[in-house]
Amino acid sequence: MDIRIKAAHRAYDDDLISINSLSALYQSVDFSSKQFDDPEKTLSQIDNNELIMAYYYQLANIQIFPDERLDVILRYFDFAKKSGLENIAYAITEQIIETFTPSAENSKIGIEIAFANIANKNFDDALKWLNLYEINNAKDKKIEYAKFLIDLNQNDNLDTVINYLSDSNLNFERIVFNDHYLFQRDDFVKYEDYNIVMRTNVTSHVELSKAVIPNMIENGWGKIVFITSIWGSLGTRNRAVYCMSKFALHGLALSLADEYGKDGISVNCVAPGFINIDETSNPGRGKERNDFLSSKIPVNRMGQPEEIGKTVKWLISKDSDYISGQVIVVDGGFQNSGSRGEAF
């Protein structure tokens, strides 16, 4: 069952199943009544995250008293955060969260319920809980961050992010930029989305870098990583504008590394090749397309998202302090292969 739940978690993250389907799977796990009589003992005996997620969900649903249900939900959220599954926990408990009423006695947990509502895009409810929590916790920096998330989700513009970064009292030591416009085919002469591509892939990185670099200079240390693409070094037909934007990012990173190295700031790029996520695995053509791409990659497979994550983690760690002004290519050898021109 734990393997099925793990697969379902991934399917939910990939928008292949609904939260209701995941909920039904959680409910199908056969816990005994005795196991619910002593939650602490039961949780100590379950040795994998997937079954613990299902147990907490069932436990929350059988609580009669609101206070006890709320306590279980908060413990559920705490476990899910530590396991990297908080978005699932927020989504699957949305109907339970709606039963809680903002009140003075519940104000201390307002920030947690607010974040859950933000994740579920219930922004009006999030603000109610946030305002309640702020009465007695005005200095909590999480309030400012929660308001930023609400503003960003409702306005969805670059100025919101820049203003937040510029006006906040946050210390910026490590920043990873991963905003990009889709890698789509275009006829260069007829292409009309030039400004959108450049604003998303280049201007946003320029403006956000300008917002965080002064703080890094003040601290005497900082790490910036741009997620770019192998097409920022290669170029390919029918994607001239996209490739141009990625070339620009490489130039920006190398120039910033040279300019601010004296201030203790390193700037690097991670350039992924074909990674097995929705955009590049191309569900419309499915396994056939994946197999075709894999055959053009020397290691004979597409990359996994976590392989990009591990590279970024290294670049923002102290282990990479002498690395700056570099484009780290993660592509299974594709860029240097003789068959790269056949991939399209």
Which DSSP string corresponds to 27-92? HHS---HHHHH-HHHHHHH--SHHHHHHHHHHHHHH--SHHHHHHHHHHHHHHHHHTT-HHHHHHH
Query: Which of 133, 164, 242, 260 is an active site residue?
Result: 242
At what angle are helices 141-155 and 110-119 packed, to 10 degrees? 20
**242 in active site:** yes
How far apart are alpha carbons 47 and 29 in whole angstroms?
15
How far apart are alpha carbons 315 and 44 in whole angstroms?
36
Query: How big is the CA angle at 266 (ends 265 and 269), to the nearest 5 degrees?
Result: 145
Q: CA dihedral in degrees (70, 146, 157, 204; nearest 10)?
A: -120
Instruction: Kindly state the tokens that stand for 217.
Output: 């200079």
136: helix, strand or coil: coil
Residue in 344, 340, 332, 341 with CA at minimum distance from that of residue 298: 332
Question: Looking at the annotation, which residues are catalytic?
Answer: 242
